[in-house]
């Protein structure tokens, strides 16, 4: 059984390595590039750092591996594209990269198990666990990236709402206000700036404001942004004041943010019970009772003899 697992892993690893080597080999330069170098050999393009070059080649190799795999169904492909967009990756190659990583990661984990000798405990079970863990690592990383980006959007939303209120109150329309807020938040909150830029681009290509805002809520998956979008749609539908609605929503959002902070602070005492019981209290007991136990042993041990 061990020889079968080792042989199969070696064959699969060899195929993947050959694919990566073939995909990462530098392509032939075009005729125009070669002629330009011959014409002006002194002037050349700045060389990229070694690490960035290797990372780019690795990404291209993983994308090439993903292209070799059969494409998923339409529903699964749309769900994967939505998850990548929520994580902040909108390139078409990201789905192929994730597909290739799901194939490459189990092979890497199995190779680590074989190299470290961990398979000796139970060859079938350990290799199976390595395959399952390797397959789940890319998905787990993607979920972690989505949660981290959603948290950054939640933290950036109060500042964005304040700027949006200021822009609306000085006379700008909602479309121009969204564009201005995206420009101002480009450095402080790049994730929210990117999402607002996407909204303005969708409205430029022909989508209505309601459709673009609903797409923003679906694309981010944030509860706070979904409530903001619902408020903006209702404001536009009923013709109420946008500035007043935004100011009220901003106050409510800050109140909810303060309540979250108070909730987290209230949970601190409960979360400290575990470290106190398992780490701090045993050390204190050793420090306090240790000398007394040593003294008792020294006094009672001769009496027992």
Q: Model confidence over 126-154: pLDDT tens digits? A: 888 888 888 899 889 999 999 999 999 99
Give the pLDDT confidence of 64-92 residue by residue, as tens digits.
Answer: 777 777 776 666 778 888 888 888 888 87
Flag whether pLDDT at 4 surpasses 80: no
Stronger pLDDT, 119 or 95, i.e. the higher one? 95
What is the per-residue DSSP string for 85-125? HHTT---THHHHHHHHHHHHHHHHHHHHHHHHTGGGT-HHH
Stronger pLDDT, 94 or 21, i.e. the higher one? 94
Query: If pLDDT is split at 50, 70 and 90, which confidence band does 108 have?
Result: confident
Give the pLDDT confidence of 231-245 residue by residue, as tens digits.
Answer: 988 888 887 888 888
Percentage with pLDDT > 90 across the chain: 17
* For the chain, domain boundaries: 2-24+52-68+75-148, 150-264
Give the pLDDT confidence of 8-37 residue by residue, as tens digits.
Answer: 555 566 665 555 555 454 444 445 555 555
Q: 150-264: which CATH topology? A: Receptor-associated Protein (1.20.81)
The reported pTM is 0.71
Q: What is the dihedral of CA 58, 136, 75, 206, to 10 degrees?
A: -50
Give the pLDDT confidence of 189-212 residue by residue, as tens digits.
Answer: 999 999 999 999 999 888 888 999
pLDDT at residue 67, rounded to an integer: 73
Q: What is the mean pLDDT of residues 295-302?
A: 81
């Amino acid at each position: 059984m061990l020889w079968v697992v080792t042989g199969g892993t070696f064959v699969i690893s060899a195929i993947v390595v050959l694919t990566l080597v073939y995909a990462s080999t530098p392509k032939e330069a075009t005729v125009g590039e070669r002629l330009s170098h011959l014409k002006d050999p002194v002037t050349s393009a700045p060389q990229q750092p070694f690490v960035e070059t290797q990372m780019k080649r690795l990404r291209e190799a993983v994308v090439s591996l993903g292209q070799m795999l059969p494409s998923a169904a339409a529903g699964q492909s749309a769900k994967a594209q939505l998850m990548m967009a929520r994580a902040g990756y909108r390139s078409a190659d990201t789905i192929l990269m994730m597909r290739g990583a799901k194939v490459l990661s189990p092979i890497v984990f199995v190779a680590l198990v074989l190299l470290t000798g961990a398979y000796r405990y139970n060859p079938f079970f350990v290799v199976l666990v390595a395959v399952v863990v390797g397959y789940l690592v890319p998905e787990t990383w993607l979920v972690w990236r989505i949660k981290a980006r959603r948290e950054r959007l939640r933290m950036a939303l109060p500042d964005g709402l304040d700027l949006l209120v200021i822009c609306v109150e000085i006379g700008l329309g909602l479309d121009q206000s969204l564009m201005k807020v995206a420009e101002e938040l480009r450095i402080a909150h790049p994730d929210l700036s990117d999402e607002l830029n996407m909204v303005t681009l969708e409205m430029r290509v022909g989508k209505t404001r309601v459709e673009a805002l609903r797409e923003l809520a679906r694309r981010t998956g944030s509860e706070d942004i979904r409530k903001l979008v619902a408020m903006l749609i209702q404001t536009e539908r009923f013709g109420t004041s946008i500035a007043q609605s935004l100011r009220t929503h901003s106050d409510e959002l800050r109140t909810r943010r303060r309540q979250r902070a108070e909730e987290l602070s209230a949970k601190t005492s409960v979360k400290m019970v575990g470290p106190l019981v398992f780490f701090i209290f045993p050390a204190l007991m050793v420090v306090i009772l240790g000398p007394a136990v040593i003294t008792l042993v020294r006094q009672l041990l001769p009496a027992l003899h």
